[in-house]
Amino acid sequence: MALAPITRANASIDALQDNMINANASIVALRTNIINANASIGSLSLTTANASIDALQLNMINVNASIGVFQAQIDNANASIDALQLNMINANASIGSWNTNLTNANASVDALQANTVNANASIGALKTNVVNINASIGDLQTNIVNANASITPLQTNITNANASIDALQLNMVNINASISAIDVTSINASMTSLKTNIVNINATIGDLQTNMVNANASIDVLQTNMVNVNASITPLKSNVVDINASIAYLKEEFVPVEWGKNASWPPATAEDIMQSYQTVVVRKFAGATTDEKLSFVLRAPRGIQSTTVQYSPHVIITGTVPSSQGVVFGLKGHSKAVGASYGSEILASKINLTGTLNPKYSQLQVGWSSAVTVASLEGGRLAFFEFIRRQSNADDDYATDIGVPGFDIRWI
């Protein structure tokens, strides 16, 4: 608003008018004094005239002083008039802005009316949204219940997190200490090496891409090979089974009876059985007395994987031919200290021998026994065995001596 400057200008103009009235009054008085002085000069003495002149001079001095004040007040009035003109210009400019604002306000009123129409349309949509919000509040309440149930584990997690933060703060202190100890010079040197390595790596990537193309081509060949390999695996499995079965036979050997030493109740001494210049050494085990035995010391082959063996005696008919009769043998052993007890005895038998199938001097092999456990058996270690004709067994009913040239042993 420009009212305050206008009020001050009016006040200055009123003061100026008062000063001009006072100045005019002084000028009239001055004139009167001059006329009176001139009249006195003609009628009065010089002394009186001089006194009047002194009073006149004093009045003139006062008039001059009043004129100076009047001029200062005129200057102030002029300055006030300039300010009043400036304020009137600013007021006119403000009135122009006010007219523009009124125009904008009228335009805003039109926009407000359009917005009111749109607002009424929005209120309809808002009512629909309120209905939907009310439906959502039901779901929200359920979610709040579930959230409240989750808050308890969350509080536990927060406790654990706070504990972790304490540990993290300690770790950060240690990390800060470690950062201070970092050798920046070495890192800079490493970065230089790293740049060189990156250049080399980029060069290598080109080779790698070429290799990948070649590798993809090789993968196709590899897939074909894998299909062929998979087809070969089934025969390979069968071969492995056969190889495993064959390994046992590779660790099989013949133990001549001549290697045996007399145990308690040994068989007859060794003798040669000669027929047509063919000689075989046997020891005859009796079939109608105490069970006869021999002891053997054998070295286990290297590479064996168990502590068991199997055995199969060889026999030659040296006496009366059998007649539906049989023989029974036994074997037991250990691989512990000399003089230790043998393990359990395992039998091997051959029954239903006949003169037709088993004539005199014919040879036959008793079938393989089941596994004989040899305690502490290892590859390359000595094993001690006791070989027996178990004529006391009911299945050994061939009462005649029988020659034994030895037995096969299989390290299984």
User: Which tokens belong to 171?
Assistant: 């770790």
* Residue 282: how many other CB atoms lie within 10 Å: 24
**What amino acid is encoded at 37 in this protein?**
A
Q: Which domain-ending residue is among 146, 167, 182?
A: 182
Is the pLDDT at 62 greater than 90, yes or no? Answer: no
Residue 77 belongs to a domain: yes
Do 177 and 270 share a domain, yes or no? no
Domain-embedded: residue 85: yes
Based on the domain organization, do 46 and 130 belong to the same domain? yes
Domain identity same for 175 and 257: no
Q: How many domains does the chain have?
A: 2
**pLDDT given for residue 105 in this prediction:** 46
Q: What six digits make up the tokens of 64?
A: 């001059």
Task: Say what the pLDDT of residue 56 is.
Answer: 59
Give 165's contacts (C-beta < 8 A, 6+ positions apart). none
Tens digit of each residue's pLDDT (9 = 90 or more) over 319-337: 999 999 999 999 999 999 9
The last residue of one of the domains, among 166, 182, 198, is 182
State how far the Cα of 145 lies from the Cα of 380, in Å rounded to an integer: 77
Residues 170 and 258 placed together within one structural domain of the fold: no
Are residues 126 and 15 part of one domain? yes
Same domain? For 296 and 173 the reply is no
Instruction: For the chain, give the percent of residues with pLDDT over 70.
Output: 73
Is 315 part of a structural domain of the chain? Answer: yes
Question: Are 343 and 286 within 8 A, CB to CB?
Answer: no
Q: Are residues 137 and 273 in the same domain?
A: no
User: Is 187 part of any domain?
Assistant: no
Residues 166, 171, 177, 180: is their CA dihedral positive or negative?
A: negative
**Is the Cβ–Cβ distance between 375 and 335 less than 8 Å?**
yes
Q: Say yes or no: 272 and 375 in one domain.
A: yes
Q: Is residue 239 in a domain?
A: no
Res 362 pLDDT > 90? yes
Percent residues over pLDDT 90 in the chain: 37
- Co-location of 125 and 268 in the same domain: no
Confirm whether 109 is domain-assigned: yes
Residues 364 and 279 sit within 8 Å (Cβ to Cβ): no
Inside any domain, residue 60: yes
pLDDT for position 225: 76
- Is the alpha carbon torsion for 354, 359, 365, 366 positive or negative? positive
Distance CA 267, CA 400 (A): 13
Token readout for 106 is: 């009228």
Task: Please report which helix (H) or strand (E) contains residue 54, including its range.
Answer: helix 46-180
The rounded distance, in Å, linking the Cα atoms of 73 and 239 is 135
User: Are 126 and 273 part of one and the same domain?
Assistant: no
- Cα-based distances in Å from 173 to 161, 176, 282, 351: 18, 5, 91, 89
The mean per-residue pLDDT over the stretch 5-15 comes to 66
- Domain finish residue from 160, 182, 204: 182
Q: For residues 141 and 130, give the distance between their C-alpha atoms in angstroms, rounded to a whole number.
A: 16
Q: Which residues pair with 253 in a beta bridge?
A: 409
| Residue 55 forms part of a structural domain | yes
Strands (E), 65-201: none
Q: Is the pLDDT of residue 188 over 90?
A: no
Partners of residue 386 on adjacent β-strands: 295, 332
Tens digits of per-residue pLDDT, 241-268? 555 544 544 589 999 999 999 999 999 9
Do 20 and 105 fall into the same domain?
yes
Confidence band (pLDDT; 50, 70, 90) for 121?
confident
Average pLDDT rounded to a whole number, residues 18-26:
74
What pLDDT was estimated at residue 116? Answer: 54
pLDDT of residue 123: 55
Are residues 173 and 28 located together in one domain of the fold?
Answer: yes
Q: Which is higher by pLDDT, 79 or 392? A: 392
Range of the domain at 344: 253-411
pTM score, whole prediction: 0.44
